[in-house]
Amino acid sequence: MKYKDSIIRVAKQTVQTECDAIKNLIPLIDDEFAEAVSYIYNSNGRVVVTGIGKSANIATKIVATLNSTGTPAIFMHAADAIHGDLGIIQEHDTVICISKSGNTPEIKVLVPLIKNGNNKLIAITSNKESYLGIQADYVLHAYAEKEACPNNLAPTTSTTVQLVLGDALAICLLDLRGFSSKDFAKFHPGGALGKKLYLRVNDLASVNQKPKVLADSSVKDVIIEISKGMLGATAVVNDVEEIIGVITDGDIRRMLADNDFIGDLKAHNIMSSNPKRIANDAMAVEALEIMENNGISQLMVEDEGRYAGIVHLHDLVKEGIL
């Protein structure tokens, strides 16, 4: 391709420019950042995040991150705010205003209105000496020396550092709240991510067949049970439903390859003893880890030491866990 080398060069320069800007944020995270986070943590209201242009796009993402990690937040477009949406801000809310320059006309109109409501104002800006920076109660310094754009015009590096600071703020609040994976699952019930956090082994095994044979069952009975269960395996249990072994399709094939006469063989002759197993209330993602670590596709499921079924790798694939 004619322009391949140029494309690769420009792409790498863009990534490097933004990487450098992110690294430069580290020394800018100071006591004022900590005080802003502490204020939000101790407040009784929501976080209202506002901005205009590309900063407004970043604001919507920060709102989504805050909401999903335990901090109630809402987006307010800066232009709409001065045309009726200012009512979004309630008495105890904290307002975060995002602006690279801190001097845009909409921001200059909006800031006094926020201050008149006695709401605390947190600025995320590249220019601490801007109108926004001076008026804000706390300033998160989103300094960006230059945009990745060769004309130094298109918001690229500046929006990246805004986003990173928003993530840092959200994760600090998450940490202060002791927000756990169980809490996270409450806000992410859909999709593969949610299922990894809440789906349990029993949710999968309970809808499968529950193939099982006794140790002295005939090979014919074993084959019928495996075929009926459609899981490629059957558990071998004792009289009190404890798992003592497993027989898979592979075990049947090996038996046929090694024996010319199978009429006298029983389940205990061909089973694998002490198979890998998991509790029915364990997380489905734990089942996947056991399967991957042991190179198996079926896992025996127990309920208080008794056979409760089989979970198959295909179940995990089907649910999007893998």
Distance CA 124, CA 31 (A): 15
- Model confidence, pTM: 0.68
User: Are 271 and 240 spatial neighbours (Cβ–Cβ below 8 Å)?
Assistant: no
Q: Mean pLDDT score of the chain, rounded to an integer?
A: 92
Q: What is the pLDDT of residue 194?
A: 64
For 88-139, what is each residue's pLDDT tens digit? 999 999 999 999 999 999 999 999 999 988 899 999 999 999 999 999 999 9
Domains of the chain as residue ranges with CATH: 4-179 (3.40.50.10490), 201-318 (3.10.580.10)
Q: What is the pLDDT of residue 198?
A: 76
Helix orientation angle between 157-177 and 54-68, rounded to the nearest 10 degrees: 20
Asked if pLDDT for residue 183 goes beyond 90, the answer is no
Least confident of 2-16, 64-78, 190-204, 232-246: 190-204
Asked if pLDDT for residue 144 goes beyond 90, the answer is yes
User: What average pLDDT score do residues 146-162 get?
Assistant: 93
Q: How would DSSP label each residue in 102-138?
A: S--HHHHHHHHHHHHTT--EEEEES-TTSHHHHH-SE
Q: What is the pLDDT of residue 187?
A: 65
For 289-305, what is each residue's pLDDT tens digit? 999 999 999 999 999 99
Q: Is 77 annotated as a binding residue?
A: yes
Asked if pLDDT for residue 185 goes beyond 70, the answer is no
User: What average pLDDT score do residues 179-202 get?
Assistant: 71
Q: What is the pLDDT of residue 186?
A: 66
